[in-house]
Structures are given as structure tokens and as C-alpha cells.
A and B are shown apart, each in its own frame.
Chain A
Amino acid sequence: MIDKYEIVIGCEIHTQLLTKTKAFCACENRYGGMPDTRVCPVCLGLPGAMPRVSKGYVELGAVAGQALNCRIARFTKFDRKHYFYPDLAKGYQITQYDMPLCTNGFVDLPFIHYPEEERPGGKSFRPDNFKGENCIINNKYRRVRIERIHLEEDVGKSLHLEGKHSYIDYNRCGTPLVEIVTKPDMTSPDEAALFMETVQEILRYVKVTKGNLEEGNMRCDANINLNVWENGTLYHTPISEIKNLNSFRSIKDACAYEAQRQLKEFETDRQEFNPGFKVTMGWDEVKGQTVVQRTKNSFVDYRFVVEPDIKPFSVSEELIAKAKEAVGELPEAKRVRFIREYSLSEFDAETLTSTRELSLWFEEAVKGARSQKRVANLIITDLLAVLNEKQQLITDVKITPAHIRGLADALEDNKITSKQGKVVFEKMLATNKMPDIIIKEEGME
């Protein structure tokens, strides 16, 4: 009889970087296009072609590392990972094996409080030796440790038509990626989904990635198993690796399903965790089930070698410092500050910090304004509504933060009524004129 159990999840996120060109060649780093048009001798693996590290690749990798609190290596290299598959043009992937660019980082997730009855797995307890791991910071955040972040190139895209042909599109082959690997610090499907969301937000903020899950800019694999207590003895179930989860929803659902499945399987099979043994699974969204893809017995021999065509290189202190500077204030810290400095609600703070550009725009608008709340309201209720309707971003807007401030002040001073305010707002967007001018012209004084 199982007393209690605990879910253990580690994540691997692959995310495409916003460099101008592919990782090791001059092809444009862009999504889409006619298949096999953004290719060249290097990313196609033609005889005699050689890789060259693209400008900005290492720099963006370091920014990602700094944004996730990692240590950046002072000296690093690339390696070759060999396996045969049609979408891997060279028969090996250029990656980093034993000297990754970043190590030992962390991300703090807003801690999800479960009332005891709702805790996944029932009343679980943490023995003393778990105190060091899975730590909770300030009783507010779950710290998920990042084991490593390394640079590697993406592979092509294959399309299999059952019973007919496979088609390969090499446009994506050679796209620069970082792979982020966590320690198994997450304890629930919610946390896993939240982790992905948080990393997406952070990396978008620091302009490392577009982070678009639908385009495949970001892909997540979840490694999940259970700690099960039975009659006081602790058992571990075998690890399942669920690959290519491409929405927050599917991460949550897949992990939840797999946890229950492992529990049932353990009750019947009693198979235990084995260091060399990992089951690879996919998530069938339609059926709502995990599906076994292959079992990995022992390790797969990738025959790693140092990439001989790219000299191992130093990472300068200057590069590392520049990367830190590029990170700036991260979203969660900004939210906390906005709530404190501008007396905003959690919801308002979240909205105004959804992108770095918007947060900067708001802070500019609020400078010297008579009512911060009014400025916030104008932006959230009126401006963002218009932007959402037109499917635009704050960077597309023609008016300046001073416009909003002017209007907010006018309303605060009771110069105009709120009804008139709406008119001024519309005219302002249409003509770009400052609110005082519009108020004068409309004779609203």
C-alpha cells in the first residue's frame, strides 16, 4: 500500500536565438519560406564546407546565461554529437558537450500554494535531506536550479507522409539554439508549466529569443518520475522523457497524466529507477495520453569529439559584463518594484510589465504625472485596448508617453470630464496632437 508519493520534474528547453544569421553560416535566421531556400554549403553539409561562429551567437548565449543567474565560462569550445537522421545534414550536430557556456544558474518561480488536501500526491512530507534542494525562497518563490545552458545548432524539419515519402526542409537546419537544462527541482505539473512560461518571459524580455511556441522558437522536454513511499521505504519510478511539448497547457496535462500513469504502473509492475534507462514519450494531445516512442537502454553512443573546425575560444570579461548589462531589470523584479513604487495592483503591474518596451513606456509617462494611477488606467484600459484591436505593439504607437501624461493630468485637474477625455484620446491617436492643443481646439476648457 502506497503511503504517499512526490512528483519530480526536470525540464530541458530548446530556444532559438535572435541572431541575424544561422549559427555557423551566413544564411538568414528567419522562420518560414519556401523549403530548402535558406540554405548554403555549410548548413547543407556539402563536401568541403566549414562552420564559422556567427557574430552575436556567443553574446546572446551569455545574455541568456546572465538572465538566468548562471556562471559564464571563461573558456569554452564546440563538440560534435554524431547520429544518423535525414534532417541532420552533416550526420553530426555541432553542440557543446563537456564545457557548456553557462552553468549553475536558477530561476525563481512564484510559489504555488496548495492547500494540504489539494497537494499533488496527497500529504507528502520532505525528509530533512530534501531541505537543500527544492528550496522555497522567502516563502514566495520556488527556486528551480539551472544545471547548464549550452549552444547548439538546430536540425531540419521532416514531414512524413504515411506509406509514401518523407520530405525534409533544411531551412531550419543550423539555426542557433541554446539548450537550458534544469535540475529535477519541480514538484508539480503546474510548476513545470510555470517554469516554461517564466523562462519564456525572461528570455523575451532580454531579446534573446522570440519565444514563439507555435513557430517552434521554443520547445520543451519534461523528464518526470515519482518518489514513492510504501511501508516507510522510499522507491523511485523510472524516468520518462516527454519530448516536444509545445504549449504550457500540454506541459501541464502531459506531466499530470504521466504522473498518474507511473503511479498505476508502479503499483502493478514495481519497476524501479535505473540510471541507464529512460523511456522517451510523446504527448498525444487529441487522445490526452503519453505515447512511448522508444526506450533508451543504457546510453546512446554519440561518439563525442571536439569540433576540429572551430578553435576553442576564450570568453572575455568584457563580453560577460556587456551581457549582464543587457539583462537589466527582469520582469518579476520589475513587477515587485512597480507595485511598491507606483502603488499598482498585482494585475496592473503584470499588465504593464508584460513587455520591457511597455514597462519603459509607462515609466516615462508616469514621470512627473499628477496621478500615477490615472496614467496606468489610461494605458491599460484605453491604449492597450486599441493596440489589441489593431494587433499592434507599443512600439508601433505614434503618440508619446507625454501625450498620455498630458491627458491624465488634464483629467486629474478636472479640466475636462471623463467623457470629453475619451474624445481627446481618440483625436490624440488620430492627429498626434498634444492633449492641451486638442482641448483648446475643441473648446473644451
Chain B
Amino acid sequence: MDYTIKDMQTALKDGTVTSAALVKKSIETFNADKKSDLPLNAFLEMYDDAESKAEAADKKIAESRAAGTLDRLFEEKPLIGLPFANKDNISAKGKRLTCASRILEGYVAPYDATVITRLENAGAIPLGRCNQDEFAMGSSTEYSIYGPTRNPINRAYVSGGSSGGSTAAVAANQALFGIGTETGGSVRLPASYCGVYGLKPTYGVLSRWGVVAYGSSLDQVGIMGHTPSDIAIPLAAMCGTDMYDDTSAELPGKEQLKNLTSYRCAGLADLKIAIPRQFLESKGLDADVGVVFDGTRKWFESKGACVDVVDIPVLDAAIASYYVIALSEAASNLSRFDGIRYGRRVDTGDGYDELYVHTRSEGFGPEVRRRIIIGNYVLSEQFSGDTYKKGMTVRARIQREMSKLFETYDIVLCPTCPTPAFRLGQKVDDPLEMYLSDLFTTFVNLARIPSVSVPAGHTGGSGIEAGVTVGNAFDVYSGTSSSSGVMPVGIQFAGPMFSELKILQIAQSWEKDHPGCGSPISF
């Protein structure tokens, strides 16, 4: 029995496992880990009603079993009794929400995000809120007032960010699946670093109502799980237009996501795959990542797919365009945090100008302040000229080029990140270096297309060579650090807008040939 949605559904149906037991195990693991020398720090808090919700789910399952309506129950509520990790920037009614920031000290969300409502409607149990980079601004979960989230595979390393907490929780089997948010790669990057699957859907497919905004035209809720199916089932439960989000959209193929099969069940011989030359020849590309990528490419070729290296020069400007747009939108979206209606207010009694200055200077961490200042600078035509316009122009060009590319090609294949997870503290004092972690992820957000990071392999270390993963390839490091440095590597499959079904099916084909590659630590 694997810790996957499909297996847990079967176990719950059989009665071999109860929801209460699953939740209890998560809570016990969390409590034990908290006391260890190098705590994971993935979960910030376990919700106090998780256990009672689990017991209610068990009751419902038992009643259904007695009434002979078990199959129908699991049809209507496919995620019944299954615990998931929430991120600290997604609103859950009655629960604290801080975005890992001091400025939201004490804030309790008075309403549910739509994605939470829909997951609960499908029977899932919100387990707790997880750590992140402050206001989703970061690539390592080191910019958090709660301290960093460690990588469960090697606790001397970062888990990636900004959704490091929920990703590490999934990788460490503290939750069955998790949700996070992406603006420039914040779900795919930690998925790559922690060795699990991570999907960023098409912009608009998952409602942003209740999700704290960072870069509104880029933000999307993302899903992490151990298998492509573990991503597809929650996706099907959450996706679709929402009357509270004008930018939300329908996702075709929703029904088939509930029972994810491999791509076309046969080979991948009809696939045409594009590899951006700009990324392949990037100077920042780690050699071991290159090895894993080669392995992935060879696998596709062995299946009969046609793989081409394609020139997409505009991608060189992607990361700059991303930061210009995201930071401008961030400066705008974070204007509402002033401590007046909620959160932490610092009032020196010298009038409201001072109130704003003190509340925000003390409430925001250094990275957030950096980004707000840059964002405001970009938006001030006076100072930055037409920088914002230039960023938008590059974005429009990227969207056009990707559209054209997908007329010929089915997916874009490239590494999720230029490097594997790095050591804690390695890049935290060099913001630009940190920003470059997003080199290969941002074009996806700019183009609004979906992309899934697939746990494809591992780097080399003492005695081990870098290569493609088959099954659980990582030892469990229980609280100690090791110098062997064998870390996961993710490769992303990106498709045109609304192609979630297709890319997840292709991922499922990969999973079939590499079973358990998304479960780095045994349950």
C-alpha cells in the first residue's frame, strides 16, 4: 500500500485504514519532528479541527458501507477522508493566515478560499497551514519569519520556495497531497527540489478568491503530489469558473482527470517535443541536472517521440520581464497592508503618515521591502520611463511565440531548475543569485500555460552517479545531515493553455515506467 490517493481511497473503502488514523499519523509525525535536532518546519500549525473532520469522514464511510452506497460516496466525494497541506497564503475560514509575515500577525481569515471550499466539498480534510517565503516572494522558503523549511531528503538543504512548506510536507509523507501558489515557479521549483510532482495549471483554471495576491496576472494555485493521479484528482475537484474571480476559466477534460490514464495508452510515438536551445545552453545549468535531462530526453526518444531543439530567443528576456511585471503588481497588491483594519499596527501617535511608515517597515521582511520598492520604481514613469511597458511587450511576445510553437509541438521539455536544491544559507544574501533559480520556470507563468514538474532523477554524490530515478531512490535522513548531496532533479512538461489533461497523461506514462519516483521517502 503506497501513500497515494488511489491506494488510500481503496484502503478507506476496504476499511484497512481510517481517515482518523491517517490524520493522527500526520499529527504525530509533525509533533515528533518538531522536537528533533533539525526539524522540517514544513507545517506551521495543524488545524485543531482536522481530527474531528476525519472522524466525521470515517462515520460517513461506515454509514455508506452499511447502506451499500460506498461507490457512490467515493464518486461524489473522491477525496473523502484524505488529508492535505494548505499554504499560509490561502484563506481557510476561522484559521490564522500570515503569509509568513509579521505584518499579518493575529489575522484570522473570515472566509474560505474557493479552492478550499471545493476540496472540502470533495471530502478532503485541510490538515494545517505550511511555511512559505514571505508573501510568496522567494525561491527557497528561507525568507520566512518562522525560519526555513528544510528539505526532507537532506535537512542541510533548502526545500525550495515559495511553497516549500506544503511541498516538503508531501515529500515527507506528512500529508497526502498539498496545495501552494505559483507566480514564477513557486510550486514546480520546490517539487523539483524535494522529488515530488508539482503542477502549475493554466492561468485562471483555479480560482484566486481567497488566495493572497502577489502578481495578479501571474498567480495560480498549484498542486503537489506523489503521482500524476494525485495531482489530477484534486485538480478535477477544484477547477472551473468561480463567480468571485472574474479571471477564472473552465478546464476541458475535467472528467477524464478523475481517472488519469497514460497518454494514449500506447507509445508516445505521435508526440512532437520542443527543447528551448536557450535553456539547454544556459551557463547556469548544473552538469548533473544536464545528465538527468539527457536521460529524460532519451526516454522520450525511446518511446518514439520526435524531439527537436528549438530556438526561442525571447526566452532569454523572460526572467527580466517576469520580475518587472511581478514586482510592479506586488507593490500594488501589498498596498493594502497598513495595520489599520487587520494585522499588526505600529502607531507612534504622530499621525497616519508615520503609522504607514512604521507599520510597513517593521512588518515586512527585507526581501518583501526590496520588491515593493523596485515595483514602485518601475511603476513611476517619472523614474523608470517605460520599463513597465517594455516588460509587458516582452510578455506579449512570449505568449505569441509559445502559441506559434504549440501549433507544431505538443509539449516543451526542459529542466525545472538550473540547479538542484542548494544548502541552507547559500544564496540568501545574494538576491540576484536567488532570482536566477527561476530561470526556467517564469516563461510558463508569463505565457499563462500549464506545466508539471516531474521527479525525473537525482544528482550525483559520494559513489553515486547522476541519473534518472527508478522507484524510491533516496535514503531517509532522519534529522541528520549527510555530505553525500544526492538530491532530486525535476524536469518539466509544459503544454499549451488548457492542456492539463495531456501533460498529466504524459506524466502518467513516465510514472508507469518509473513507478514510485514521486515518493522519495518511504511511508
A is bound by B: yes
Contacts of B331 in A (CB 8 A): 303
Query: Do residues B212 and A85 form an inter-chain contact, with CB atoms below 8 A?
Result: no
Q: A303 touches which one: B216, B217, B332, B356 (CB < 8 A)?
A: B332
CB of B342 closer than 8 Å to a CB of A: yes
Query: Do residues B335 and A91 form an inter-chain contact, with CB atoms below 8 A?
Result: yes
- The closest CB in chain B to the CB of A168 belongs to B340
Query: Do residues B332 and A52 form an inter-chain contact, with CB atoms below 8 A?
Result: no
Across chains A and B, the number of contacting residue pairs, with CB separation under 8 Å, is: 99
CB of B382 closer than 8 Å to a CB of A: yes
The segment from A132-140, A147-155, A306-314 that touches chain B is: A306-314
Q: In the bound complex, how far is the Cα of B337 from the Cα of A90, in angstroms?
A: 8
CB of B329 closer than 8 Å to a CB of A: yes
Query: Do residues B352 and A85 form an inter-chain contact, with CB atoms below 8 A?
Result: yes
CB of A360 closer than 8 Å to a CB of B: no
Query: Do residues A47 and B109 form an inter-chain contact, with CB atoms below 8 A?
Result: yes
A7 → chain B closest CB, angstroms = 33
Query: Do residues B246 and A41 form an inter-chain contact, with CB atoms below 8 A?
Result: no
Query: Do residues A47 and B107 form an inter-chain contact, with CB atoms below 8 A?
Result: yes
**A80-B332, A91-B335, A92-B335 given; A46·B110 CB < 8 A:** yes
Q: In the bound complex, how far is the Cα of B246 from the Cα of A52, in angstroms?
A: 6
Contacts of A301 in B (CB 8 A): 380-382
Q: A91 touches which one: B212, B246, B338 (CB < 8 A)?
A: B338
Q: In the bound complex, how far is the Cα of B352 from the Cα of A305, in angstroms?
A: 25
The segment from B142-150, B203-211, B266-274, B395-403 that touches chain A is: B203-211
CB of A82 closer than 8 Å to a CB of B: yes
Query: Do residues B208 and A166 form an inter-chain contact, with CB atoms below 8 A?
Result: no
Query: Do residues B329 and A305 form an inter-chain contact, with CB atoms below 8 A?
Result: yes
Query: Do residues B338 and A86 form an inter-chain contact, with CB atoms below 8 A?
Result: yes
Q: How large is the interface on A (under 10, 10 to 19, 20 to 34, 35 or more residues)?
A: 20 to 34
Q: In the bound complex, how far is the Cα of B334 from the Cα of A84, in angstroms?
A: 12
Q: In the bound complex, how far is the Cα of B376 from the Cα of A168, in angstroms?
A: 27
Task: Count B interface residues, CB 8 Å.
Answer: 44
Contacts of A53 in B (CB 8 A): 246
CB of B477 closer than 8 Å to a CB of A: no
What does the 1/0 interface line of A41-56 toward B look like (CB < 8 Å)?
Answer: 1001111111111000
CB of A429 closer than 8 Å to a CB of B: no
What does the 1/0 interface line of B315-330 toward A look like (CB < 8 Å)?
Answer: 0000000000000110
Query: Do residues B213 and A48 form an inter-chain contact, with CB atoms below 8 A?
Result: yes
Interface centre among A48, A84, A170 (most CB of B within 10 A): A48
Q: In the bound complex, how far is the Cα of B111 from the Cα of A49, in angstroms?
A: 10
Q: In the bound complex, how far is the Cα of B220 from the Cα of A72, in angstroms?
A: 35
What does the 1/0 interface line of B158-170 toward A look like (CB < 8 Å)?
Answer: 0000000000000
Contacts of B113 in A (CB 8 A): 48
Q: In the bound complex, how far is the Cα of B510 from the Cα of A430, in angstroms?
A: 87
Contacts of A73 in B (CB 8 A): none
CB of B32 closer than 8 Å to a CB of A: no
Q: In the bound complex, how far is the Cα of B337 from the Cα of A310, in angstroms?
A: 21
Q: In the bound complex, how far is the Cα of B352 from the Cα of A361, in angstroms?
A: 53
B203 → chain A closest CB, angstroms = 11
For the complex of A and B, the 5 pairs showing the least CB-CB separation, nearest first, are A91-B335, A308-B216, A303-B379, A45-B336, A48-B210
Given A48-B210, A52-B244, A308-B247, 5 additional A-B pairs, CB 8 A = A47-B89, A49-B209, A86-B340, A89-B336, A305-B388
What would 13 A/B residue contacts be, using CB atoms closer than 8 Å? A46-B109, A46-B111, A47-B97, A47-B342, A48-B210, A80-B332, A84-B335, A84-B338, A84-B356, A86-B352, A304-B379, A308-B216, A309-B208
